[in-house]
Amino acid sequence: GDSVTQMEGPVTLSEEACLTINCTYTATGYPSLFWYVQYPGEGLQLLLKATKADDKGSNKGFEATYRKETTSFHLEKGSVQVSDSAVYFCALRYFGNEKLTFGTGTRLTIIP
């Protein structure tokens, strides 16, 4: 079946460091790909998405590119802030399918 694999955390970085959180997927077709973020004590929020190959999603300085050839959707940010500390989830969903398949999440902590 379809699945999403994220790099294991936790990840701890200093402020202004570069961030990459790896995400790869296994899918039989061409799903839409998402990154959701969960701040402490809250539900999930959509961070960015890409709906087809080579699309780049971006928001709040974060970027991710839908790479069909490597089945990847890595999350990147050039300079992280303390406020970026959260758990990040990679997910996929097929158009017309109600199910959103999540990765296990990666906890990110940014230290001043």
Which residues in this chain contact another protein in the complex, by CB under 8 A? 4, 32, 34, 36, 41-46, 49, 51, 89, 93, 98-100, 102-105
Q: Tell the smallest beta-carbon distance from residue 15 to another protein (Å).
A: 26
Lookup result for tokens 């890595």: 74
> How far is 87 from 7, CA to CA, in rounded Å?
12
Nearer to another protein, 29 or 112 (CB): 29
Q: Tell the smallest beta-carbon distance from residue 11 to another protein (Å).
A: 14
Q: Tell the smallest beta-carbon distance from residue 110 to another protein (Å).
A: 21
Q: Tell the smallest beta-carbon distance from residue 16 to another protein (Å).
A: 29
Nearer to another protein, 73 or 103 (CB): 103
CA angle 77/80/83 to nearest 5° reads 125
CA-based nearest residue to 91, from 55, 43, 46, 39: 46
Cβ atoms of residues 108 and 87 within 8 Å: yes
Nearer to another protein, 6 or 110 (CB): 6
Tokens read off for 54: 């080579």
